[in-house]
């Protein structure tokens, strides 16, 4: 299958600082990547769709100025949580589409646990 690498695995930051999370497709090119947020004991919630070379598409209710997404290459998308606050503490997961086994499938990164103090 395809491999999606996400870094860091966990990060602790002070309130008001910014945090960048990287998502890389290691063995395939991804024109589209997706960013999710997951709170404890809840399901994944799609935040935005990251498109290589163009602006990201944000889901309703997600602040684009707070969650900056950059997809500058076919293998890398970054999510920057700006001016983080405790309520932004969550598990962030990226994914990318890859054509494997005859069909397109979603492959996910290992996730980033963000804790804002």
Partner 1 sequence: LAKTTQPISMDSYEGQEVNITCSHNNIATNDYITWYQQFPSQGPRFIIQGYKTKVTNEVASLFIPADRKSSTLSLPRVSLSDTAVYYCLVGPLEEYGNKLVFGAGTILRVKS
* Interface contacts to partner 1, rule CB under 8 A: 1, 4, 6, 32, 34, 36, 43-46, 49, 57, 91, 93-97, 103-111, 113
The distance of closest approach from Cβ of residue 34 to partner 1 in the complex, given in angstroms and rounded to an integer, is 5
Nearer to partner 1, 16 or 99 (CB): 99
State how far the Cα of 83 lies from the Cα of 25, in Å rounded to an integer. 27
Contact residues for 50 (Cβ-Cβ < 8 A; gap 6+): 32, 33, 34, 35, 56, 69, 70, 71, 77
Q: Which is nearer to partner 1, 4 or 79 (CB)?
A: 4
**Residues listed for the chain:** 117
Cβ proximity to partner 1, 46 vs 82, nearer residue: 46
């Amino acid at each position: 299958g395809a491999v999606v690498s996400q870094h860091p695995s966990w990060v602790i930051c002070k309130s008001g600082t910014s945090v960048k999370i990287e998502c890389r497709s290691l063995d395939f090119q991804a024109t589209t990547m997706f960013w999710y947020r997951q709170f404890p004991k809840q399901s994944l919630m799609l935040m935005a769709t990251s498109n290589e070379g163009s602006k990201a598409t944000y889901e309703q209710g997600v602040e684009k100025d707070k969650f900056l997404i950059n997809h500058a290459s076919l293998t890398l998308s970054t999510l920057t949580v700006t001016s983080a606050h405790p309520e932004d503490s969550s598990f962030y997961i990226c994914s990318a589409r890859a054509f494997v086994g005859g069909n397109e499938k979603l492959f996910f990164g290992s996730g980033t646990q963000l804790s804002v103090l």
